Amino acid sequence: MAIRQLLTQGNRKKIIYLLIILVCLVVLDGVITEYLINGGNASEANPFLESLVGEPGFMILKSAGALFCAFVLFDVHRRFPGTAMVVTWIAVAGYFAIVVWNTSLIFLT
């Protein structure tokens, strides 16, 4: 029951913290991706972003997209707090896994 409350019980401060963490994880993913690709140790898995890696537009697009998603999730939270909290937790967990994976590639290569 405690885990369910943590995931679905939404208050304004909690969603703001989660959205800040989400934006930071997305930007960190972009920075690590740039580092790995410039070192020749990886390739971009997203075909839409593949041509932008190494260009200033890559980080601008990642940052702007993350901020846009954060604002949309914050707006959804006003009407559907439980749904927004669950979706935000899933996004944070997903991006955390991506950042851990990318960071492991730094140490493995």
The full set of domain ranges for the chain reads 10-40+50-108
Express each pLDDT in 23-66 by its tens digit: 999 999 999 988 988 888 787 888 887 788 878 888 999 999 99
92: pLDDT strictly greater than 70 = yes
Phi, psi of 43 (to 5 degrees): -135, 155
In the block, residue with structure tokens 């997305």: 26
Please, which pLDDT band fits residue 109 given cuts at 50, 70 and 90?
Answer: confident
Residue 2 has pLDDT above 90, yes or no: no
So what's the pLDDT on residue 32? 92
Q: What is the pTM of this model?
A: 0.85
